[in-house]
Amino acid sequence: MDNELENNKVEQTNPEGAVEETIHSPAADKSEKNEAAEPETEESQIRRLQNEAADWKDKYIRLYAEFENFRQRTSKEKISMIATASESLIVELLPVLDDFERSIKATEQASDVQSLKEGVELVFHKLSKTLQQKGLKPMESIGKVFDADFHEAITQIPAPDPDQKGKVIDEIEKGYTLHEKPIRYAKVVIGS
């Protein structure tokens, strides 16, 4: 037994530098390892994994529900925006509509054509100004080089001058841009 104790003696150095002998017991090592890392039983491991799976499933379901709510909310917002997108333009055009109604009533009783013409021109300028404030601009086509991105050629005629070849000579229908994007192409006659 003394031999066993001597074999289990371990020399250790303490902080002061002195060598101490301690008895090392292999049985103590085994009990420490068993207490620290007791192997999980299959049932406890299965329960633990099932709990983890349930947690992940719960997180997934909640995230999916959140996403579906977000998608439905944004869809409703888009539909609402589309329905009311032109509301501000219509509100600004209502005074022009009122002016047209007044001018129609005035034509029933008017005998002076010149004043009637001036009234219609005023309403037209008011309408043009309102639309320009919303970003609508008429295209200037006459005298410009034909550009298929802005013009639609109706016909070609012989150019009166050699300088007008390939240029717009006449405009049948005015084109318009909305915020620099063509929304209606100008219908033009080109010199050939």
Q: What is the pTM of this model?
A: 0.53
* DSSP string of 148-186, one letter each residue: TTTEEEEEEE--SSGGGTTBEEEEEE--EEETTEEEEPE
Round to whole Å and give the CA distance between 172 and 154. 8
Q: List residues bridging with 182 in a β-sheet.
A: 177
Domain boundaries, given as residue ranges, for the chain? 137-192
Judged by DSSP in three states, 12 sits in strand
Task: State mean pLDDT over 16-44.
Answer: 59
Round to whole Å and give the CA distance between 97 and 78. 29
The CATH number that domain 137-192 falls under is 2.30.22.10
Tens-place pLDDT, residues 1-20: 444 444 445 455 555 555 55
Task: State mean pLDDT over 93-119.
Answer: 83
Looking at the chain, list the stretches that DSSP marks H as alpha helix, in order from N- to C-terminal side: 2-7, 26-36, 42-84, 87-109, 113-133
